Copies of this chain bind each other. A is one copy, B any other.
C-alpha cells in the first residue's frame, strides 16, 4: 500500500473556462479511518459537469469547494483498511470521494459492489448517479408516452444515453443531439435512437423540423445555449422540458438570456428542474430495474476512461467542451475485477 495520498486541489476559482492553472496536484499523508469508517483506495473517479458549479463561487444548491481543498467527486474503489463492522478489506465499494487516490468514508455512506453483477465502473455511470439522473428526470418530469417525440441533448453522454434509451423503451420516438459524426453514429447504431443530429454541422432548426415535423413533446435539457434556442420554439402543447443541466453555458461569466416564457402559457409547457441528490431514495429501485438491462445488453453505455489522477484537470476541462465520448472516468488504479 502506498504510504502517501495524492490529491487535486482547487488553486483558484476559474473565471470563464477553467484552465490547468486553476488546479494543483499535491501529495498528502494517508488519511486514517476512525471507528465506523474505512479507508478506500480509489479505482475510478467520476468527472461530471456539475463539478463546474462546485468550483465556482456562485450560490448553488451545494456548498462550493473551498480554495485549497480537494475537489469533489464520486469514486469506486476497494477497502484497504476497515474500522467498520461488516465491511472487510478487499471489498469493492461505491462511495469514495474526491479527486484523490485515497479517501476515508463512514460506513453509512458506502454501497458494496458485486463485480459479478456489473463492472465496477458502471456504478459511476449507467448504474450510478448519471443513470439515476436519467431515470428520475424521465419518470418524474418528462414522462414520455407511447408515440410522443423526445429530443435528448448530449445524447452520447452519461445521462443522455440512458435518458434516450429509457424513453425508447416507453415507446417514444427519440432523436439525439450530439457533437460530431462519431457520436451521432454511436447514438444511432449502438444506442438505437431513431436519429441523431450533429449540432456542429447541421442547421439545427432545419434538422429538428425534418426529424419532427409535428413538434417535440419532451426535451431533455443537458446543454442550454444554441440547442435550447433551437428546441424551445418547437415544443408542442403540453410539452415538458426536463431541466437537467446546461453544460454549454457553465463557463459563461454572465448568464445569457433565456426564452420568453409566454410560450409556457400558450402551450401549457412544464419546465422543471431537478437535482438527483434529492432522489437518492430511488437508487435501489433504479438499480433493480437497470442492472438486468445492462447485463442483457439492452441498456448500452460507453465509457471514456483517462489514465491517472494527474490528468483529471485536463480531462475535466475537455468535458466542459464536449471532448469526451461517453461517461468520463479517471482510472486511479488498476481495476482488479476488469474482465471478470
Which residues of B sit under 8 angstroms from A269, Cβ to Cβ? Answer: 243, 271-273
Is A246 a contact of B271 with CB atoms below 8 Å? no
Is B274 a contact of A278 with CB atoms below 8 Å? no
Report the nearest B residue to A254, measured CB to CB.
B260
How near does chain B come to A24, taking the closest CB pair, in angstroms? 27
A61 to B264, CA, bound (A): 11
Task: Decide yes or no: A237 and B61 within 8 Å by CB, A243-B261, A257-B257 being known contacts.
Answer: yes
Query: 18 interchain pairs (CB within 8 A)?
Result: A53-B266, A61-B267, A243-B264, A244-B265, A245-B265, A257-B260, A258-B259, A261-B273, A264-B271, A264-B273, A265-B273, A266-B273, A267-B273, A268-B272, A268-B273, A268-B278, A269-B273, A272-B272
A299 to B268, CA, bound (A): 27
**Cβ-based interface call for A249 (8 A):** yes
A246 to B265, CA, bound (A): 9
Give residues 228-280 of A contacting B (CB, 8 Å).
228, 237, 241, 243-246, 249, 255-275, 278
Which residues of B sit under 8 angstroms from A270, Cβ to Cβ? Answer: 270-273
Report the nearest B residue to A62, measured CB to CB.
B266
Task: Decide yes or no: A258 and B260 within 8 Å by CB, A244-B265, A267-B61, A268-B278 being known contacts.
Answer: yes
Q: Which of A244, A265, A270, A275 has the most CB of B within 10 A?
A: A265
Which residues of B sit under 8 angstroms from A224, Cβ to Cβ? Answer: 261-262
Which residues of B sit under 8 angstroms from A259, Cβ to Cβ? Answer: 257-258, 261
Which residues of B sit under 8 angstroms from A255, Cβ to Cβ? Answer: 260, 262
Is A258 a contact of B261 with CB atoms below 8 Å? yes
Report the nearest B residue to A270, measured CB to CB.
B272
Task: Decide yes or no: A268 and B275 within 8 Å by CB, A237-B61, A258-B257 being known contacts.
Answer: yes
A73 to B272, CA, bound (A): 33
Copy number in this complex? 2
Is B261 a contact of A271 with CB atoms below 8 Å? yes
The 8 Å CB contact of A261, one of B53, B246, B263, B268, is B246
Interface residues on A, range: 35 or more
Q: Give the 5 A-B CB pairs with smallest separation, nearest first.
A: A257-B257, A264-B273, A255-B260, A265-B273, A271-B271
**Cβ-based interface call for A60 (8 A):** yes
A266 to B245, CA, bound (A): 9
A208 to B61, CA, bound (A): 22
Which residues of B sit under 8 angstroms from A245, Cβ to Cβ? Answer: 265
How near does chain B come to A265, taking the closest CB pair, in angstroms? 4
A256 to B261, CA, bound (A): 9
A38 to B267, CA, bound (A): 34
The 8 Å CB contact of A268, one of B228, B258, B274, is B274
The 8 Å CB contact of A272, one of B263, B271, B278, is B271
A259 to B260, CA, bound (A): 8
Which residues of B sit under 8 angstroms from A244, Cβ to Cβ? Answer: 265
